[in-house]
Structure formats: structure tokens, C-alpha cells
A and B are shown apart, each in its own frame.
Chain A
Amino acid sequence: MALRRQPLSAPRPGDTRPAAQRLAVPLLLLLGLQGAAAAGGPEDSGWLQDAEPSSRLLSQAARAALHFFNFRAASPSALQMLASVLDGRAWVNQKKEYKFDLVFTTEFYSAEEGEKRLGKCSAQVFFRNEKPRPSVNVTCTQLVKKERRQKEDYQLYKLMKQLKSPLNAVSIPDSHGYIAPSLRPIWDLAFLGSSYVMWQKTTPFLHYYMSQISSVKQWKTNDDAIDFDYTVLLHEFSTQEIIPCRIRLVWHPSKPLKVTYHCQERQTPEEASGAEDGSAVAPTGLSNF
């Protein structure tokens, strides 16, 4: 299960890192010392607790946890999004590791009007050395019973199977924010795949939202899986950059999700810069591109 990943490109001349990253050192100085002991760990790595973690910081960490949760659940009909953070604590140490302890509420991603249901999650999120792909430990209350979830996933699966390939669908949602009901399953599946990518790319300073699907294709597979190839535009908040990511996912209800992706990072003034690849559950027979 090899994870192929290029190291993040080092800052180039004129390439301004997100402002938040420059906060790292002064942040250490600003943190209220709350004793060296962090909750839940006898090992003393010199954790300093942030006396007043900003709600923004906690929300970002909660979202990262949710991306991971949604990916692991692999259920496009039961995607959840952040409602609000109920409680959160943050620590950082001199090794520039960040730790978060969170309790937050969630809502259905595809909630229809009137179908407001709040779930609750607790999570621990750990960033090593300001790097992306945090370790996440997350448990959520079950918003939907397993049977219903499986049933709806299967319905979505059947809908996708019936779609003609190639789909030739572009821009979901359209410029006016509209998603045609027939395209809704595509959006949900894309969000599922994007959740993996967004979790992979999130750092203490970079956090992502899915903006738009800019192209989509569906490939045939020999087994019964949905083989789904699409380009999604991710929005990174602190740099405001739009990052196109080509994502390929292979999905079958109640089976682990297989995702490969290739994101195009922002150009420098001279040339298009590097790219970031990743894959999960390295599939046999599928190659990276």
C-alpha cells in the first residue's frame, strides 16, 4: 500500500507562503502556558496549550477530521458537513506539531429543506511538523441507520450505473449555483472523492473547500464498480487559490473506496510549478497519471 507523494515544494523566491504559516513562531510565544502536560498523554513533548484557540482554527481542524470521516465511511448518501464546534482545545510544541481535541456537531451534506438533523462527533487531530495529511481519530453518532444508508447508497449506485458514458457534464454546479437533480449523485460521489484529497492536503495553515466540478467522465469497469474520472476545483482559503485536481475513484457500495489524484499547484511567474499526487488503497490494475 504505497503512498506516492512528492514533498511539498520549498518556498521559491517571491512565493509567499500563507500568512498563517508565518504565525507559527510568534504563536509559540503568544500561547498561554498551561503547564507542560497535555490531556491524555504521559509523554511530555513540551505541549503548550493555546489558551484561546480561535474558532477559525478549531473549525479548520474539525473540517479536516470530517474529510477523513467522510472518506472512511465511503458513503456518498451520508456525507456530513460541519455545523458548529461545541468544544475545542489546541496544543503546539516546539517540534511544530499541532494537536487538537474537538467536539462538534454535523449536518447532512445533502439535507433537503426541513430535514435538519444534527450529528455529533469527537475527534483528535494531529499534524506532524506542519505537514499535511493529519492523523485523525474520529467518532460520530450515527445520523442515519446503517440499513437506510446502504439502501440509499445502492440507489445512487444504480443511478450512476444507468448514466451514459461518457457523461460530458461540465461545471457542477453551474455558474448560478444550480445542480440538476439528475446530476446530484455525481456531485455527491465527487465530494466523497474530494474529501480524501482535501484530507490529504490539509495542514495547520491550508484548508480546502470543494468549489466546482469542472469536467466528469465515467469509465466502464469489468467488475461492477463505478469508475469515475473527474476534475474538481478546490478552493484553498488562506491563499485564495483555486487548485484543479484530477481525481479517479472506484466505488462500490459497502466496499472501501479507491482514490487516486493529481493536483496542479499554482504557477510561478516563470513556469507552471510542481504537482502533488496521492493515492489510497493502491488498486491493482489502475495506474497513476
Chain B
Amino acid sequence: MKWILFFGALIGSGICDRETFSGHQVFRINVRNGDEISKLNRLVNSDNLKLDLWKSPSAVGHPADVLVPSFSLREVKSFLEDHGLEYLVAVEDLQTVLDNEDQQMQHNVRQELSSNCFNYGAYHTLEAIHNEMDNIVKCYPHLASTVEIGHSFENRSMYVLKFSTGEGRQRPAIWLNAGIHAREWISPATAIWTAKKIACDYGKDQAITSILKKMDIFLLPVANPDGYVYTHTHNRLWRKTRSINPGTTCIGTDPNRNWDSKFGEVGASDNPCSEIYHGAHPNSEMEVKSVADFIKNHGKFKCFIDLHNYGQLVMYPYGYTTEKAQDADELDMVAKNTAKALASLSGTQFRVGPIATGIYRASGNTVDWAYDNGIKYAFTFELRDTGHYAFTLPADQIIPTAQETWLGLKTIMEYVQDNI
């Protein structure tokens, strides 16, 4: 809209001076010869009419645009008709146009500000992440919605983004879990970038569009909100939840040992002061219980992916034992393809294998639980790096990490789509 250039100044003055342009019109006047140009000039220069020449006739045959205030309309029309000057009313009521334009512009400004405020290449507070989730829903209301599946120990929201193209039906679904360990900041950072990516690419990228036609995607960027806040306010290297353990000053349970799958067995601790304390009983942590309950009640999840750092690994069940899971061969193949796709972007090498041999034995973890509850395609990622920066991965690696991880996630999701 070319008018924006004209309106720009007007809006500014409009807002400041509260001047109204109600009833003002813009005339587009044709000038066919030099004589008509001088007549137009006479008109525009008359003091009492208060006309504003917006666009002067650059040459014969090119029209002039003139702003005519409401009190001058009758006189101008008479003049033009008396002198045989051709004209049309280009803008019937300037204020209406300004009002609409203003709204649109304010909306754009707000949009831009809100999306520019959220820098995907930086780490953010819990509040900022939750706000950005809301923004994504605002921008893509036909695809995205939020679901509050429960609350944390300190009563923070367990806030999930749902991407769905099918209204009111319980479709097969994918769960993307992030931020279960508070200090692994690259995990929520990757998750929120991924959320934006899914929203942006739907309808443009064939792969994700096809996946979403068939399946829903649920994304939980911060599965341990209390812990995450604590890493911002008190201790950057906190891992667990912030629940109180009776009889000791040691706080928190390892939420990735608290799931109801071989709970309390190897690779977890019954010492509440331990970083891998499994908790008093399975699902003792509200953060864990809300996800477990939601997934079980939904009943149609086919894929569960958990994002962690660090180590650069793509892993599948089991963590509690080195014995092979029934589908280990298939999952290994998918994991290998995932690592390959991930490496194709920047050459980042990820190793592949079951959790127990990939990192260590660990019972009561998300992926074992998902697998034992009928979700065959259960994977966990340990994102960058391999120990150089570890948990404090520099922010300039967020977007490269998220971009490469996305290729890996798509590989899994495409495979799931083709095999359910």
C-alpha cells in the first residue's frame, strides 16, 4: 500500500495531536495540459481551502493527489466541474482508512516486537518460554494450541504445545519432551525453536505437513519448571526437581529416575542427596505424574522423544538392563538414520545405541517407561557437546543445535508415520 508512506506521518501526528480526518477526502485530479496545471495550482494555493497537495503532477497526463478537508469539499467540486477538470474520489473518508491502517500497523508492530523480543538464539526464563508458546498459538491458531496438563511441586504450570490439524479426534500422537533436567538448557532452547519450526513449516515443508496430516505433535519444552527456574535464580547446575524430602535438607528427586518402569533398580539412588535419587515411589513427582497420566489417558501415543544434554547420542531402550529390547534392531536402524540425518547439516557426530551401553544403566527413566507402555518408538537424545562446554553450552550454538536436531527428529517422525 503506497498510502502507508503518506499515512506514516499522519498517524504520528494523529496520535500525538488527536487531530481527526473524519470526512476528509483525497481527490485524484487529471491534468491534460499546461492550462489545467495552472488552474490546479491556483486551486491548491488558495488559502481558505486548506488543500494539501500530496502528489504533484510530474508531467502532463499524470494525475495529482490532493487532500481536501471536509469543509472545502463543495467548493473544490464546484471549481473542478466549472473548469472541466477530470477527477475521482480516491479516498472517501481518510479517518476510516487511518483507523484501519493504524490497527493493522499496531498489530504488526506488536507481532514484530513480540517475535523480535524472543531471540531463538538465546537462553530464556521460564516465563519468556511460556509467553512465546502463547505467541505461537496466536500466530498459528488453526494449528497450535496450549494444554495445561498439571502443575509442578511449586505450583508452576506444566505447559504443553499441541500441534493438530484434526479437530476433535484422538489421533495417533508424538510426544516431544524437553527440559526434564534443569541444567540442560539447550534442551528447552531446542524445543521452543522446534515448536516455531513446526508451526512455520506446516503447509510449506512436505515432510512435516504430511506428518501433521496423520498425527498430532505434543511438545513440552520445560518438563521440570521448578528446577529450571532454580537454575536461573540460584544454582546453574541444579538437575532435579525441587520437591521437599522429609527428614533431610536435601531437596529434589531426579525426574528421570522416577518413572514407573523397573523403579528403584540399578542406576538410581535411594539417597535423597544424590543427583540420581529416584524419589519415594514411582510418579512421586507431580511433574512426572502429570505427563504419565496425560499420555496414558490419551492412549494413542506412538512415539516419545526425550531431549537432554550432553554427550551427542541417540539412544533407545533399555536403560535398566543391557538385555536387548524386543524391537532393538529396528530402533537401532532408525537411530542410525537419525544420527546420519543430524550429521548431514554440520558434521556433528552422534553415537547410537541402547541407553544402558550408550551412557550408563539407569532405571525408572522416561524412555523405558514409554516403551513398556506400548510406545514403541521411544528415543532419547543427548545433544551437544561431548564435554567441552557441557551444560553451559554457549548460546551461539543453540540454533545450529536446533537445526541439526530437527533433521534427526524429522527422520524419526517420518519413520513413525510410515509404520503405524
Contacts and interface: CB of A to CB of B under 8 A. Distances in A.
Interface in A164-181: 171, 173-178
B389 A16 contact: no
Contacts of A211: 237, 390-392
Interface string A74-110: 0000000110100000000000000000000000010
Given A211-B237, A212-B392, A240-B276, A19 B250 contact: no
Interface in A202-259: 209, 211-212, 233, 235, 237-242
B377 to A, nearest CB: 24
A285 interface: no
Interface string B386-402: 11111111110100000
A67 to B, nearest CB: 12
Contact of B275 (A15, A82, A242): A242
B390 A235 contact: yes
B275 A269 contact: no
Given A175-B236, A212-B237, A241 B275 contact: yes
A268 B395 CA distance: 35
Contact of B351 (A55, A109, A173, A176): A55
B23 interface: no
B68 to A, nearest CB: 57
Contacts of B353: 54
Q: Is the contact region of chain B dominated by helix, strand, or loop, or is it mixed?
A: loop
Contacts of A55: 351
A82 B123 CA distance: 27
A171 B234 CA distance: 12
Given A15-B271, A20-B360, A269 B276 contact: no
Given A18-B360, A56-B359, A267-B250, A209 B273 contact: no
Given A239-B275, A266-B273, A19 B393 contact: no
A56 B250 CA distance: 31
A176 B272 CA distance: 28
A240 B239 contact: yes
B361 A56 contact: no
Q: Is the contact region of chain A dominated by helix, strand, or loop, or is it mixed?
A: loop
A242 B247 CA distance: 23
Contact of B236 (A14, A19, A212): A212
Nearest to A111: B388
A72 interface: no
Interface in A1-24: 14-16, 18-20, 22-23
B399 to A, nearest CB: 13
B128 interface: no
Interface in A106-134: 109
B232 A176 contact: no
Contacts of A23: 361
A18 B359 CA distance: 12
B267 interface: yes
B389 A56 contact: no
A238 B357 contact: no
A177 B388 contact: no
Nearest to A209: B387
Nearest to A266: B273
Nearest to B122: A176
A269 B390 contact: no
B419 interface: no
Contacts of A266: 273-275
B275 A176 contact: no
B335 interface: no
The listed residue with most A CB atoms (<10 A of its CB), out of B254, B272, B360, is B360
Contacts of A81: 387-388
Interface residues of A, number: 38
Contacts of A56: 357-359
A20 B360 CA distance: 7
B378 interface: no
Contacts of B248: 269
Contacts of B387: 63, 81, 209
B266 A176 contact: no
A233 B270 contact: no
B266 A178 contact: no
B328 to A, nearest CB: 15
A239 B254 CA distance: 11
Contacts of B367: none
A211 B271 CA distance: 23
Nearest to A55: B351
A58 to B, nearest CB: 11
A238 B248 CA distance: 24
Interface in B161-207: 185
Nearest to A208: B387
Interface string A173-204: 11111100000000000000000000000000
Given A56-B358, A211-B237, A16 B391 contact: no
Given A16-B269, A19-B362, A109-B388, A240 B394 contact: no
B357 A54 contact: yes
Interface in A248-283: 266-269
Given A54-B357, A56-B359, A211-B237, A178 B271 contact: no
A178 B394 contact: yes
Given A19-B362, A176-B395, A237-B359, A209 B123 contact: no
A212 B238 CA distance: 13
Contacts of B360: 18-20, 237-238
Interface string B230-253: 011000110100000001101000
A173 B395 CA distance: 11
Closest 4 CB pairs of A and B: A177-B394, A19-B267, A240-B275, A16-B269
12 contacts: A15-B271, A19-B266, A20-B360, A22-B266, A63-B387, A173-B394, A175-B185, A239-B275, A241-B274, A266-B273, A266-B274, A269-B273
Given A173-B394, A175-B232, 5 more contacts: A20-B361, A212-B392, A240-B254, A240-B275, A241-B274
Interface of A: 14-16, 18-20, 22-23, 54-56, 63, 81-82, 84, 109, 171, 173-178, 209, 211-212, 233, 235, 237-242, 266-269
